[in-house]
Chains A and B, each alone.
Chain A
Amino acid sequence: MAGLDGVENRINPGDPLDKDIYALKPEELANVPKVPASLPEALDALKKDHEFLLRGDVFTDDVISEWIEYKMEKEAKQVLLRPVPYEFALYYDC
């Protein structure tokens, strides 16, 4: 659906980045788009950008909102609620 949106709206993919991205300097890397750093960030991105998924009634508002709600409430928040071992390494002696 995202690809079709690109085709329908002639979206320019940008200039090629024919470099080893793992060797880029921080200032070069600053302009390279990145995926969300966490599930909540990804869900937030979907919340802001999902019109392209609704075309042809493929996804519906109901699917999108339930997906965001489910993934946030049943998964992301549940993981965040639970202490992890490394927190004890960092903070037990705080």
Chain B
Amino acid sequence: MKPKDVLAFAEKNAVKMVDFKFLDMPGTWQHFAVPVSRLEESLFEDGLGFDGSSIRGWQPIHASDMLVIPDPTTARIDPFMKDSTLSLICNIFDPVTREPYSRDPRNVAQKAERYLKSTGLADTSYFGPEAEFFIFDDVRYDQTANGGFYRVDSVEGQWNSGRDEQPNLGYKPRYKEGYFPVPPTDSLVDLRAEMCLELEKLGIPVEAQHHEVATAGQCEIDMKFGPLVEMGDMLMWFKYVIKNTARRNGRTVTFMPKPLFGDNGSGMHVHVSLWKGGKPLFAGDKYAGLSEMGLHFIGGILKHAPAICAFSIPAPTAIVAWCPATRRRSIWPTRAAIARPRSASRCTPRRRRPSASSSARPILRAMPISPSARS
């Protein structure tokens, strides 16, 4: 979509407001909105100024003026606003130099894509993230000078098997047995379906949805893979849709890595492949059907794995979630080294890299992987 197409798209959808979305440095979406009367083609060149000093990880107050410039190719109708709202994903720029802002994760990902092309090794990288999450009924936490606690709850929670629910209808997934009995044990199938349909309405193809291993509503919905920046945008939409669809149904979603003690945490496998001239570069006749480049790509990731973890598992218990109490630890040495072409319909050899936390910020965490194509 070009700027003039966006204007036509807004008119066709009787848009009232325009919502600008962008990432802070830790990687969560921020936004502000303007009335549709301010939507002009020039906006896509000149951008809009705003005060960035309160955005996490950004500029100090004395140098806080920032510029957002929307990307016209990202235009969609936001399904969660009361009035018809056009949503645009933005890049951040310095208003004086008009340089892209170095702490804008989307800019980092765009540079990674350009860097990959400049190496001549490949022209396209595909990423397929699988972000796991929990759907809870209730969450409370606090820490003060004289006390501290956290408490999550779900009607599915195995710990509620003995609770008087007047009546308690049972069928609560046992610890580590949520993967994946049919309803009534899986009480969230309809809610996940609603999430999938919402994603598809936004033009985000879904491959599958299912309950995950942990009790108390751990779930997974898989999107089709895509190029790095596009997939980063899709993953932000994904989290937005999952959280807001849950909220609409009186539920609460978290992508945090370890909300339950003693049951599985939430990870995010990421499938990666490099392509050149429409050909998959990781398919070959070496180990597990890989090419030499595929093996080297894995070598690069394994060599730099500890450093990548600073981006890919950026939370204290996300790192210790790799403990014998979960199945995560085994993924590091084994699955990471195994890449197989999956179904022919995907036409892409995909590699499972070590499970990362789905709290990992999607764009920054993908970024360190791409440059390792050099090795």
| 5 closest residue pairs by CB, A with B | A88-B141, A91-B256, A94-B359, A80-B320, A85-B143
**A23 within 8 A of partner (CB):** no
Give Cα distance in the complex from A88 to B159, angstroms. 20
Nearest chain A residue, comparing its CB with the CB of B239: A94
**B32 within 8 A of partner (CB):** no
Shortest CB distance B236–A (Å) = 12
**A22 within 8 A of partner (CB):** no
Q: Which residues of chain A come closer than 8 Å to B141, judged between CB atoms?
A: 85, 88-89, 92
The count of residues in chain A whose C-beta lies closer than 8 Å to any C-beta of chain B is 16
A-side interface mostly = helix
Which residues of A are interface residues toward B (Cβ below 8 A)? Answer: 77, 80-94
**B59 within 8 A of partner (CB):** no
A82, A87, A89: most-surrounded residue (chain B CB, <10 A): A87
Q: Which residues of chain B come closer than 8 Å to A85, judged between CB atoms?
A: 141-143, 148-150
Besides the known contacts A84-B317, A87-B150, 12 further A-B residue pairs in the complex with CB atoms under 8 A apart:
A80-B317, A81-B261, A84-B150, A85-B142, A88-B259, A89-B141, A91-B257, A91-B315, A92-B254, A92-B259, A93-B28, A94-B315
Pair B325/A81 contact, Cβ less than 8 Å? yes
Q: Which residues of chain B come closer than 8 Å to A81, judged between CB atoms?
A: 261, 317, 320, 323, 325
Pair A83/B150 contact, Cβ less than 8 Å? yes
Pair B315/A77 contact, Cβ less than 8 Å? no
Q: Which residues of chain A come closer than 8 Å to B26, judged between CB atoms?
A: 94
Shortest CB distance A85–B (Å) = 4
- Within B132-149, the residues touching A (CB, 8 Å) are 139, 141-143, 148-149
Q: Which residues of chain B come closer than 8 Å to A86, judged between CB atoms?
A: 143, 148
Pair B28/A94 contact, Cβ less than 8 Å? yes
**B238 within 8 A of partner (CB):** no
Give Cα distance in the complex from A80 to B315, angstroms. 12
**B255 within 8 A of partner (CB):** yes
Contact of B254 among A80, A82, A93 (CB under 8 A): A93
Question: Contacts A89-B141, A94-B359: A83 and B254 contacting too (C-beta < 8 A)?
Answer: no
- Within B302-357, the residues touching A (CB, 8 Å) are 315-317, 320, 323, 325
Shortest CB distance B117–A (Å) = 31
Q: Which residues of chain B come closer than 8 Å to A83, judged between CB atoms?
A: 150, 258-261, 317
Contact of A90 among B315, B325, B361 (CB under 8 A): B315
Shortest CB distance A26–B (Å) = 18
Give Cα distance in the complex from A66 to B149, angstroms. 33
Q: What would be 16 A-B contacts, judged by CB atoms less than 8 Å apart? A: A77-B323, A80-B320, A83-B258, A83-B259, A83-B261, A85-B148, A85-B149, A86-B148, A87-B258, A88-B150, A88-B256, A88-B259, A89-B141, A89-B143, A92-B141, A94-B255
